[in-house]
Amino acid sequence: MTGIGVGVIGTGFMGKAHALGWRNARAVLGGNLPDVRMEMLCEMPMAKAEQLAGQFGFARATDDWRALVNDPDVDVVSITTPNNLHREMALEALKAGKHVWCEKPMALTLADAEEMEAAARAAGVVTMLGYNYIRNPAYQHARRMIEDGRIGRVVHVRGWVDEDYQADPDLPWTWRAKLADAGLGTLGDLGCHLVSMIVGLAGPVESLVADMQVVHESRPLADGSGRSPVENEDTATALIRFANGAHGSISTSRSAWGRKNRLDWEIHGTKGMICFAQERMNELQVYLNEGPRGEQGFRTILTGPDHPPFGAFVPAPGHQIGFNDLKVIEAAELLTAIRDGAQAYPSMTDALGFEKVIHAIAESARSGSVRVTL
């Protein structure tokens, strides 16, 4: 049997995004990628699994995730389930010798993430965590500019990631508010994305001091029988020192009215700065201290074919790529790593570094704003 057999567990927003990524990677990014066989889709109940397997283009359906990860025709497993299932599913897949593409965060606790990372190293397979925002051609261009010294030495970083999906106090309680099901709140859901971006731009985090807040301490139960407590944070803020000497701050909220996907950052250097806003994901704002002062100012870099792999999707600048296109790039990166016998980025080892940062923020906040060294 030729090609790489794919199994996807979960059919929600991320499950569908993974299915689209697997189906489109070779078509968009070239014939040098291995061929993909859409082998198996897992969902419950079975009727839903069968219906969506047909819609997404999978050969088979199952309602038993263990059957999927142990199927001999499945070579790589996508885990797109709620957070509390990541550890068990990933460990079983790694034990079976499968490559793993797991959505973030890795697990509920840092200890669980460390167990997954150790198992991945022992298995010797390719792993990748679903940090698709770092695949953006605009982000990659910003990285190249920083590496080339265009803005000089990085001295200060600021970042925000806000959404309003938990802003309404009358929104019914869900698993996302429970430590045993979701783990961290806005840090695990949103903040880790910001961490993945700023680490790639400014380098490893050395230490931090932080605080957290629960905005709505309880929520009504969906059946109207009462209220249940919110056990994890709605907002979190940290002051950060990077290993290279830069300082910075990051803040995240899932209770920020009006914010839909405000994933923004500024990187300040000794010669200029770069700004990015995810809601305008095809643009960078750049200021360089060059030329006559009277002509200096911010300029917009609009991504296009000069910012690979944009041109594989659209042959002209200004025509935009989107969220699901970043999942296609992710899938292609994983396929390339499997083909070359290399490790993908971010692997479970890389992503464990992101987990350490968000859990350090939680530790600092819970201990009374004591500085935590990573």
Q: Cβ neighbours of residue 287 under 8 Å, at least 6 residues apart?
A: 272, 273, 274, 296, 297, 298, 299
Class of 133-373 per CATH? Answer: alpha beta
Residue 173 has pLDDT above 70, yes or no: yes
- Which residue type, as a one-letter code, is found at position 85? L
Per residue in 73-119, pLDDT (tens digit) is 999 999 999 999 999 999 999 999 999 999 999 999 999 999 999 99
Total residue length of the chain: 374
Average pLDDT over residues 51-66: 98
* Element holding 154 (H helix, E strand): strand 154-162
Domain extents for the chain? 4-131, 133-373
3-state secondary structure of 88: helix
* Mean pLDDT of the chain, nearest integer: 97
Place 371 in a pLDDT band, splitting at 50, 70 and 90.
confident
Q: In the chain, pLDDT over 90 holds for what percent of residues?
A: 97
Average pLDDT over residues 303-310: 97
Q: Which residues of 270-302 are buried (b: 16+ CB within 10 A; e: fewer)?
A: eebbbbbbbeebbbbebbbeeeeeeeeeeeebe
Per residue in 106-139, pLDDT (tens digit) is 999 999 999 999 999 999 999 999 999 999 999 9
Q: What's residue 206's pLDDT?
A: 97
Place 369 in a pLDDT band, splitting at 50, 70 and 90.
low
Q: What's residue 14's pLDDT?
A: 97
Q: Is the pTM of this model over 0.75?
A: yes
Average pLDDT over residues 357-363: 97
Question: Which CATH number is 4-131 given?
Answer: 3.40.50.720
Place 247 in a pLDDT band, splitting at 50, 70 and 90.
very high
Residue 339, number of CB atoms within 10 A of its CB: 13
Average pLDDT over residues 184-193: 98
Residue 13 has pLDDT above 80, yes or no: yes
